[in-house]
Amino acid sequence: MWSVRSAEKHDNAKLSSIQAVRAVAAWAVVTGHLLSVATMVSNGLPVFSKLYAYFGVLAHAGVDAFFVISGAIMVLLYGKDSNEPRLSATLRFLAKRIIRIYPLFWVTAAVTYYAGVRLNPESFIGLLRQIMLIDVPIFHPVAWTLVYEMLFYVSVGITILIFGRHRRLGFFFLVAAIFLSAWLNPHGVFGHPIIIEFAFGIAAGSMYRWRSVAPRFFVIVGSVLLGSGMIYVSGIDDLTTVNIARIWALAIPVTLLIYGIMCLERDQRLTVPAWLVRAGDESYSVYLWHFGIIIGLGYYLALKGMQSILITIVYMIVCVVLVAIASRYSYLVFERPIMTRAFRTSVTTEKAGATATDKA
């Protein structure tokens, strides 16, 4: 059961298991939000209220999984020591993150706003800050997570800039800085559970790169703890208490689970179906499109007074189908082409820089 293997040769391998977890996390968020709006659509029918009470926690668990994954991916992609010039490496990293996050956010924000979330910032400056994800965008409720995502990416960019080729050391200090900041100022930005979950992800990714230790044990323990944690969190009504509990009840179990799953795949003891990998590729589109679809159709049915168990069931099925279709085409037609062009430009720039350095 206990195995120890070097992970150096797997640093650049694509982890299908990560994509699978992304897919599960995205649809867990969809499930939680869908049950919440279904309660409104059904006019508070007990069956949907109870379903939301029991399974609404899936939205929290899905978000936590996303952030742990982000931390792990950052250290796997950028945590290896490199001779690349620090300034160009930092600018390239931030440019790719910006292209990855903002275009789809802007498109889905407009759709979500017109679908029914008609919340307007108090000023033009406030609007700009929300559009740039400096502040939480009230017109696209699920995008609050992207504010922390960009904050984390900026922190990684600064780490690459300061530590240069010594990136492993840099990520170590980044994790230490996050935990120190959370300890000194638990109510500050870096004391937020989401930022701490990034640090958990960095730890999981670093451990994965170093060695594989009892992956099945971590999967079993992580699964049991996650199930128990979800039961516990589902009984909490206060969001502040949820944010405190999610660290140990959700984030830590998810971290153990993700580490174990990654190691199982690397040890060739886990095969991920191709359809689940594709679903993981589309997870960002799923996350950003689902709320506008769910809330738009839900508002329409509520305004029309179409509230019954049958209509609510049909509503939920239609929402799942629409989210799946919208996300699939969003990824194929919009998201993937943008990322492909950005990646090609990045590679071309990198090669040009290397040629210039050689000639110099």
Q: What is the pLDDT of residues 317-337, one digit of tens each?
A: 999 999 999 999 999 999 999
Cα separation, 93 vs 346, in Å, equals 9
Interval 100-142: pLDDT, tens: 999 999 999 999 988 776 677 888 899 999 999 999 999 899 9
What does 213-230 look like in DSSP terms, one character per residue?
--HHHHHHHHHHHHHHHH
The pLDDT of residue 273 is above 90 = yes
Highest mean pLDDT among 59-68, 74-83, 235-244: 59-68
Cα separation, 135 vs 146, in Å, equals 10
Question: For residues 347 and 259, which has the higher predicted lDDT (pLDDT)?
Answer: 259
Output 172-177 pairs: Cβ under 8 A, ≥24 positions apart.
172/206, 174/199, 174/202, 175/199, 175/202, 175/203
For the record, the structure tokens of 177 come out as 């800085």
Percentage of the residues of the chain whose pLDDT score is greater than 90:
66
Task: Bin 43: left if φ > 0, else alpha if -120 < ψ < 50, else beta.
Answer: left
The pLDDT of residue 351 is above 50 = no
For the record, the structure tokens of 145 come out as 């997570």
Confidence of residue 272 (pLDDT cuts 50, 70, 90): very high
Query: What mean pLDDT comes out for the span 179-194?
Result: 89
For the record, the structure tokens of 176 come out as 């230490």
**Nearest-CA neighbor of 319 among 35, 49, 51?**
35
User: Which residue is associated with the tokens 């209509």?
Assistant: 311
For the record, the structure tokens of 243 come out as 């944010």
Query: What mean pLDDT comes out for the span 23-41?
Result: 94
